[in-house]
Amino acid sequence: MRNTSIDTVTDAVLASISPDTSPRLRQIYGSLMKHLHEFVREVELTPDEWLAGIKFLTATGQKCDAIRQEFILLSDTCGVSMLVDALANRKSGGATESTVIGPFYTDDAPEIPLEASIASDGKGEPLIVRGRVTDAAGTPIPGAIVEAWETDGDGYYDTQYEIREVPDCRGYVRAAADGRYAFRAVLPVEYSIPTDGPVGVMLRSLGRESMRPAHLHFKVSADGFVPVITSIFVDGDTYLDGDAVFGVKSSLIEPFVRHDSAEEAAAHGVNAPFYTLARDFVLVPALVPASV
Ligand SMILES: [Fe+2]
């Protein structure tokens, strides 16, 4: 089509899609084009503003590498990650609620024995995490994998340091025959998401918060069950209602209980003070029987 105009260019783009295109891709791309064009018309985007947007997205891509994921950060801070998650998990079937995976998950977390620590010595205040993994009826799921990752006590993930020889403050355990799991970690702290990239520029431009409430990330999975990616947030945190990525859900807030007894600490092989978190996880079967 030639001589496209404000009124016809959207139809021209939609008409350019090949008839061989899969229906789902046609739906996604077509809808995206319609909304994108409507957005441009609605705000009367100027050439300078359009170029600023192109430069912003270019910088976002250039900030990404094997470890740094600026696009996930952009998605998270725009609320898109939580929206996608909410749509995918509308019907939880009683499973533990999910939340954003965030930009700091890595696939190299080591397996550790039950009761061992995911954090190396001196990474923060000791935390002991315990709970059970069950189905919605409370039946234990032996062998369920409970993976956790978190910042150190200074609020930084291992991937944010210049040198990262081995994974730290991340690891997984396998639940015992009764579904119980336990591991040691460090008390989560509030932290700022990275603001040294384009997302930081965006947040500052909008006068927005960059802090996240203290939390411990979890990925809980087992054969035959839908995995749950979630976080447990520290009750009483300042930023529970001001999370930069909108990831807090009430069902995911738990007390992290402080213990000052030196004897108790010694019994657990840690120094006082230490903290405990008790938290169970519920998974639902991956295959839903066909209705009759
Ligand atoms: Fe996090």
Q: What is the pLDDT of residues 81-116, one digit of tens each?
A: 999 999 988 877 899 999 999 999 999 999 999 999
Q: Determine the distance separating the centroid of ligand 1 and the alpha carbon of 216, expressed in angstroms.
A: 7
Q: What is the pLDDT of residue 261?
A: 95
Q: For residue 230, report the distance from its CA to the centre of ligand 1, in Å.
A: 10
215 alpha carbon – ligand 1 mean position (Å): 6
Confidence (pLDDT) at 66: 87
CA of 155 to the centre of ligand 1 (A): 9
> How many other β-carbons are positioned within 10 Å of the β-carbon of residue 187?
19
pLDDT at residue 89 in the model: 85
Q: Find the 212 Cα to ligand 1 centroid distance in Å.
A: 7
C-alpha of residue 4 to centroid of ligand 1, in Å: 46
Structure tokens at 217: 């990330």
Ion ligand 1: protein residues whose beta carbon lies under 5 Å: 102
Distance between Cα 133 and ligand 1 center (Å): 22
Does the pTM surpass 0.85? The reply is: yes
11-40 core/surface letters (b: 16 or more CB in 10 A; e: else): eebeeeeeeeeeeeeeeeeeeebeeebeeb
Compute the Cα dihedral for 40, 42, 47, 49 and give only its sign: negative
Residues of the chain with pLDDT under 70: 288-292
Q: How far is the CA of 191 from the centre of ligand 1 (A)?
A: 8
> d(Cα 291, Cα 19) in Å, to the nearest integer?
34
Q: Which of 231, 278, 223 is nearest to 97 (CA)?
A: 231
Q: Give the distance (Å) from ligand 1 centre to CA of residue 122.
A: 19
* Cα 15 to ligand 1 centroid, rounded to whole Å: 43
